[in-house]
Homo-oligomer: A and B are copies of this chain.
Amino acid sequence: MRIGILGTGNVARALAAGWSTAGHDVVLGSRSPEERTDVTGAGFTVVGLDAAVADAEVVVNATPGTVSVELLGSVGAAALAGKTLVDVGVGLSDDFTELSHPNSSLGELIQKAFPETPVVKTLCTMDASVMVRPGALEGRSTVFLSGDSAAAKQLTARLLTDLGWSAASQLDLGGIGTARGQEHFALLFIGIAEGLGSHTFNIDVVTLPSGP
């Protein structure tokens, strides 16, 4: 599949490497691709935002959550129409201390701004290293999906499987309104990271034992 990842940070690069290894055709999109020689030097393909979207079947938003809607707007609703948009953006202020969209979410704002583009929120509840290597943790953990389009969530689920997320580890929370739950987890994520002294962890949903 052709995947255009908007962003060139840790998350964008980790996902690009993970999906490339799984056999997908991945490019990173940047506002100033010519300046990202550090990223191209590491073996990634970096193009402009428009080009990253134009050639992609799936667009992934890995830009800072505080500027994502503006950056996607510069690409334009027409260019994004009909493509699945996987939003992994963090719902925190730039200094990572406060919710940037309390009682709302970046995922919902993107969906509202681009109604012809089905948006799926996922992967924003964990560190980049865990997104692409869930099997490195000591046990099973959970990745969440939120979105209004069942087809877009199915496509996203396949891409998660390609990163190592088993079907049993994927939990569909419901419509895009549930993205705020994933995003608001960010402050507990930071608290847990402080408590553990590490960002390399995830949460697992533990239920009652299955009946006999």
Contacts and interface: CB of A to CB of B under 8 A. Distances in A.
Nearest to A188: B181
Nearest to A208: B200
A140 interface: yes
Contacts of A172: 195
Given A181-B188, A181-B189, A187-B184, A198 B194 contact: no
Contact of A203 (B102, B103, B190, B205): B205
B205 A206 contact: no
Given A98-B103, A99-B102, A201 B191 contact: no
A178 B194 contact: yes
Contacts of A182: 188, 191
B136 A208 contact: yes
Contacts of A178: 187, 191, 194-195
A141 interface: yes
Per assembly, the copies of the chain total 2
A138 B191 contact: no
A78 interface: no
A203 B203 contact: yes
Contacts of A173: 188, 191-192, 194-195
Contacts of A187: 178, 180-181, 184
Tell me the dominant secondary structure on chain A's binding face.
Answer: mixed
Contacts of A68: none
A113 interface: no
Interface in A135-159: 136-142, 144, 146
Nearest to A125: B188
A204 interface: yes
Contacts of A203: 142, 203-206
Interface of A: 98-99, 102-103, 125, 136-142, 144, 146, 171-174, 178, 180-182, 184-185, 187-192, 194-196, 198, 200-210
